[in-house]
Amino acid sequence: MRHRNNTLAREPRGLTGVLCMVGLLVAGGCDAGDVSPASTRTADSDEIVENLVAAGYERDEIRVDARGRVIYQGDIVMTLEASRSLSGAGFRQYVTTNLVSEENSNISVFISPVLDEQFPAFRNNVGYAVTAWDSVDSRLHFTLVEKDGDLPDEPRILIGLASGLCANVWAESTFPGSDGQPGEEIEINPNLPAKAARLQQGVMMHEIGHAVGLRHTDFKNRASCGTNRENGGAYGDPEGEAEGARHIPGTSEFPSGDVDPDFSPDRDSVMNACMGESSAKNTFSTDDKAAILHESVYKPTDG
C-alpha cells in the first residue's frame, strides 16, 4: 500500500493479504476518481475497476494512473488476480486470505542496483527493518542480500525507486498472492532516503509488513492521519466493508458500531496508516508482535 508522507496506507491492526500494492502516506493524497487518458487504459485495468465495483468499492475511490495501474482508496495498487479474488467476496473481517505459505517462509530482500547506487546509506535502514522483522521470531525469516540471485531458491522482495508516486506517499508495496509468495515489490519515494533514519526504518518495517500480508491497524478511521484522514477518498469506514480484513485474536480492535474519529486500537503500531517525520515508529508494539505470532498468521512451527 502506499504510504503518504504523513500517511501510510489504510489497513487494520493486524495483518492481511490480498495481492495488490499499498502505500504509506504523509499528508494529502492523490485525488480519488482521477482517470488517466484512455490511451493508458487496458482491458485488464477496465476489468479490475469493474471487479472492485462489484466487490463493493465506490467508483469514485478508484482511479487509473498514468502508468495504467488501478489505484483505490488513494494508495493501494490492485492487480488483476487480486481483483478477481475480491469480486463478490465479503469484507467483514480483519485479516485477508492471502498470507505467505510455510514453504515460502525464508525470504530474501534485495535492493535494486539503481537505488543502492543512488542512495547507498539507505541500505543500513533497510537492514534495520529486515533485522527487526527477523527478530520477532515468527516462522518467517528474512535475509538482506547483496545482489539478486544470491539466494535463488528463496522468494524475494525487491526494493526499488518509484516513478510517478504522489509526493505525499513514502512508499508502496504489493501484498502476498494466492500462490503463497510474499509481495514481490516495494517502491519508495526518492525523497525518503533524505529523511531521518527513524522514519526510513519505520517505513520499511511497515512496507515489509504489507508484503507479508499485514493491514493497517487504524484502517477504520485512519486516526494516525489526523486532519488528513479523508484525503483521497472515503477513508473513514466504520463497517470495514472495503477492507477485506478480519480481526486477529489477542490484539486490540475497534468497537462495534460507529467509531470515534480519534479512537486508535494501538497508537504505537508500526502498521498505522500514516507516519509523519515527527511520529515515526521504528519498533513493533506489543500488539504488532501478538498479531504476527498468532497461530492464524505466522506463529513458529514446532521443532
Chain segment 20-48, per-residue pLDDT in tens: 445 565 534 454 444 445 547 788 888 88
Highest-confidence range of 1-10, 127-136, 149-158, by mean pLDDT? 127-136
Q: Which pLDDT score, from 0 to 100, does residue 175 have?
A: 80
Tell me which residue range forms the domain holding 62. 2-286
| 291 domain-assigned | no
Answer whether residue 178 shows pLDDT above 70.
yes
Which band of pLDDT confidence, cut at 50, 70 and 90, is reported for residue 177?
confident
Within a domain: residue 299? no
Domains in the chain: how many in total? 1
pLDDT of residue 217: 80
Q: What is the pLDDT of residues 76-116, one digit of tens each?
A: 677 787 777 665 433 222 345 588 999 999 999 999 999 99
Would 295 be classed as within a structural domain? no
> How far apart (Å, rounded) are the C-alpha atoms in residues 228 and 224?
9
Q: How many CB atoms lie within 10 A of CB 100?
A: 25
Q: What is the pTM of this model?
A: 0.76
Q: Is the residue at 88 inside a domain?
A: yes
Question: Hey, how many other C-beta atoms are within 10 angstroms of the C-beta on 260?
Answer: 11
Residue 293 falls inside a structural domain: no
pLDDT-derived band at 292 (thresholds 50, 70, 90) equals very high
Q: What are 211-221's pLDDT values in tens digits?
A: 998 878 876 67
Are 250 and 294 in contact, with CB atoms under 8 Å apart? Answer: yes
Domain-embedded: residue 301: no
Residue partners of 45: CB distance under 8 A and separation at least 6: 64, 68, 69, 70
> Cα–Cα distance between 114 and 116 in angstroms, integer?
5
Is pLDDT of 9 > 60? no
Query: Does residue 303 lie within any of the structural domains?
Result: no
C-alpha distances out from residue 74 to 172, 176, 181, 211, 236, Å:
11, 20, 25, 18, 13
Query: For the purposes of burial, counting CB atoms within 10 Å of the CB of 127, is it exposed (0-12), middle (13-18) or buried (19 or more)?
Result: middle
Alpha helices in the chain (DSSP H): 43-54, 80-86, 113-118, 122-134, 197-211, 286-292
Q: Which stretches of the chain are assigned E, i.e. beta strand?
A: 2-4, 20-25, 62-64, 70-72, 76-78, 106-111, 141-145, 156-161, 169-174, 185-188
Task: Tell me how far apart the alpha carbons of residues 77 and 45 are, in angstroms, rounded to a whole number.
Answer: 11
Model confidence pLDDT, tens digit, residues 161-171: 988 777 778 98
Phi/psi-derived region of residue 74, left when phi > 0, alpha when psi is between -120 and 50, beta in every other case: left
Would you say residue 292 lies in a domain? no
